[in-house]
A and B are shown apart, each in its own frame.
Chain A
Amino acid sequence: MKSVDLVIVGGGPAGMSAAVAAYDAGIKDILILERDKSLGGILRQCIHNGFGLHRFKEELTGPEYAYRYEIQVKERNIPFKTETMVLDISEDKVVTAMNSTDGMFQIKAKAIILAMGCRERPKGALNIAGTRPAGIFTAGTAQKFVNMDGYMPGKKVVILGSGDIGLIMARRMTLEGAEVKAVCELMPYSGGLARNIEQCLNDFGIPLMLSHTVVEIHGKERVEGVTIAKVDDRRRPIPETKQYIECDTLLLSCGLLPENELTRAAGISIDRITSGAVVDENRQTDIEGVFACGNVLHVHDLVDYVSEESDIAGKAAARYIKGENAAALPCTVELETDGRVRYTVPQRIVGKEDVTVYFRVADVFRDIKITVRDGERVIISKKKQKVAPGEMETVKITKDMLASLEGNKLTFSIE
């Protein structure tokens, strides 16, 4: 069996950043396995701008952002295989994959980085009543039809869910001549970025209907309309508020789910909230030498953070392959949340260096403090005017804090 130092599953922004970081940290024997036709992942179809403000201090489109990394991968001659599907990862780090030229093959890796990204929540999971005609797509599928294939999947559109892809597609479909009649959001707030609501809905006069959902789909062969309704504070539709909207298309932007089939099959522990692996600050899972980064670990709001996280994973994988971090793992601190903070990544800290902890909140909170406690003792208290589920928050746990911890638990809360 062929062996490689580092196999990276996925050649999107996460996989490419991790590959570059690992290479620059001294690991040259890398193989990226990408299922699509070329590197870049989902960014290839995200032709709008707004990427890279943090990372490159300029506004790039998705393909431009991906290209910045593709160049770096190619400059370093890091090997990659496209149209290659990874079918299995075993606990002893044997990767089974398949493509047209090599057929099915296996590679023994010293370390693996999981960077498979995420997928959209499909209609079936939403239990919307009514008929099952053509014309119901996830926003990302519609985005692929419009941006990659050059075809219009709809003319009169209602969008359910105000996730970022839904907001982006509201504008995209409008620019292509479709009429976007409404964006319905079940929650009393949007799950998308504030700037997207401004630039994709408000600028085009598309109504955002908060606390609304689609209760019935109409149409035998193609969608002919949807019935929407306002929901009460327990998210149940209020019958008197039902209204019919004529449309031929329903786009769904109801959340993203990390694609962790391979991770689960390998026996790696999954966080119930993130649906991604449980990791330490090196983004190492509970199988030694298997790391995860990007949207497969938890869904990010900005690709810039994906790159940041993937750098960490790439460098850590390099250290692991070189045998450098074996001895340096004396303490384990578990990170806990109060529920108002939904989750943290990482979920545990094993080292002694500074750690940036990423997290999301469960609701919109105003004038609050983000608090981190070591037992009863408050070690961080950070004031915020507003936090929202759509935007990722961070706090930094310094090495001094870690050195002076009394317990082995840190609790993250909103107060």
Chain B
Amino acid sequence: MYDVVVVGAGVVGALVARTLAKYDLKILILEKESDVAMGSTKANSAIVHAGFDAAEGSLKAKLNVRGSEMMEQVTRELGVKYNRNGSLVVAFESERKEVEKLVARGIANGVKGVRLVERKELHELEPNLNDDLDCALLAPTGAIICPYELTIAAVGNAMDNGAELKLNFEVSDIKKTDGGFAVTSSKGETVETKYLINSAGLYSDKIAAMTGDADVEVHPRRGDYMLLDRECGNFCSHTIFHTPTKMGKGILVSPTVDGNLLLGPTATDILDKEDTKTTAEGFASVVSKANDNVKNLPLNKVITSFCGLRAVGSTGDFIIKMNDGVITLAGIESPGLSSAPAIAEYVEKLLTDAGMKADVKVDYNPIRRPAHYFKTLSMEEKNEIIKKDPRYGKMVCRCESITEGEIVEALTVNPRATDIDGVKRRTRSGMGRCQGGFCSPTVVELIARELGVPFESVTKFGGASVINYGKTKGDN
């Protein structure tokens, strides 16, 4: 019998599990995919919003501002990259009123340092802005982060503190039992728990329905993104938004914490919760809207494009409720990433208020070694490590400078990667300009070796996503 089962290992579930892992509780995280951070968490704008655009008094506003305040400490403890680069919401002259309203809302929401900047200062701040832009909101507390790095680190830290993780566990049934719930997977495996946290993202409505709550409605809103080479990481220093519409915050142009430049997203409401196809129209829209904000965009430096789905709730606000041992966290669309640490804190309070009995563990350790620590070491420190373990002297991914030692770590440290994309999200191998062209065969070899599985069974992201079909003629 678990004390807490968390359904869904996105950024929200991960931070909830990590927050609760400090208590003497038996915690289990369930995830239907072959890795954590596989839903909305994997593909979004990677922004910690300052908190100026949610309506005053809403959960979104409260949790965003609080989450943004907490993020610095959370990322420091978890060894996750975080950069307070500041956000700009730019406007043409015709949109000035909207931006002024936004500044007022930011002040009302308690966002620190938010102000209006005029044309001259604006163009000095960002020389690549479209010359016609007139003014902007500047929020110095806006930041950038890598959402899957945060999620992997949070799950890893929760596991280091005793939490368990079951991957490929798709919840298909939840039954009320004496003193808790029986949660059953599509493969027929059942686990029992006292408390159930529903952080299932796009499927939080389905999970809510299994717990008897038919009122939760969530639909996907798709968004195309384009990612540019690290050569372009200095194109702008702030995250540049355009004045928002009711479909979202428009197309942003932003550096990433890994030094790339990100453009996107589009916003299209759809029905299919699995439809992450990119479209030619989407690309065209990203490019044309990004060009409203900036000039001289080096579009020949695009290294990849992707599509993410936001889990949009029916109420316009986050849907957070506790009912009879179930906590539902639904409709956690933007600013969900920014709010995640605060949502976790909120869940902690709901549980303790509900009388959950638990003491803080004596050996609780909130610190996780940074995933990318090796890169940051001095030559002497690196040589110390290479002397002990020569695998750190063997370069596998030449674009991002990732060694065999780091890849083996990704396959052995909590939560362990089991496929190529898992290794990629943990180490960045294959994320550079050649996009895995050179290193993927070596990564396949290392996965097969470390996991003790046949070469041809290694997948890109679990399931039927195999890389090879078997041996060539000569070897059969």
Contact = CB atoms under 8 A, between A and B. Distances in A.
Q: Do A and B bind each other?
A: yes
Interface string B166-194: 00000000000000000000000000000
Contacts of A215: 280
B463 interface: yes
A116 to B, nearest CB: 9
A83 interface: yes
Interface string A203-221: 0000000000001100011
A188 interface: no
A395 B349 CA distance: 79
A145 B468 contact: yes
Contacts of B276: 131-132
Interface in A104-132: 104, 119-120, 122-125, 127, 129-132
Contacts of A127: 226, 283, 302, 305
Contacts of A101: 390, 393
Given A153-B468, A222-B466, A138 B437 contact: yes
A300 B393 CA distance: 32
A245 interface: no
B373 interface: no
Interface in B139-182: none
A124 B227 contact: yes
Contacts of A237: 280
A150 to B, nearest CB: 4
A151 B471 contact: yes
Interface in A143-177: 144-146, 148-155, 176-177
Give the residue among B282, B379, B472 with the most A Cβ atoms within 10 A: B472
Interface in A165-211: 176-177
B249 interface: no
A137 B438 CA distance: 10
Interface in B397-436: 398-399, 401, 433-436
B437 A134 contact: no
Contact of B393 (A103, A119, A222): A103
Given A119-B438, A122-B437, A151 B468 contact: yes
B213 interface: no
Contacts of B317: none
B464 interface: yes
Give the residue among A145, A146, A155, A248 with the most B Cβ atoms within 10 A: A145
B278 A134 contact: no
B390 A151 contact: no
A131 B464 CA distance: 14
B401 to A, nearest CB: 7
A404 interface: no
A129 B280 contact: yes
B100 interface: no
B465 A221 contact: yes
Nearest to A177: B473
Contact of A100 (B394, B466, B469): B394
Interface in B456-476: 456, 459-461, 463-475
Contacts of B445: 149
B398 A35 contact: yes
A132 B306 contact: yes
B269 interface: no
B467 A104 contact: no
A98 interface: yes
Interface string B274-314: 10111110110000000000000000101111100000000
Nearest to A153: B468
Contacts of B387: 103
A124 B304 contact: yes
Given A120-B437, A125-B300, A221-B461, 5 more contacts: A120-B434, A131-B277, A141-B436, A152-B472, A216-B277
10 contacts: A87-B401, A98-B386, A103-B382, A103-B383, A123-B304, A129-B279, A134-B467, A141-B437, A151-B456, A222-B465
Interface of A: 35, 83, 85, 87, 98-104, 119-120, 122-125, 127, 129-134, 137-138, 140-141, 144-146, 148-155, 176-177, 215-216, 220-222, 237, 248, 261
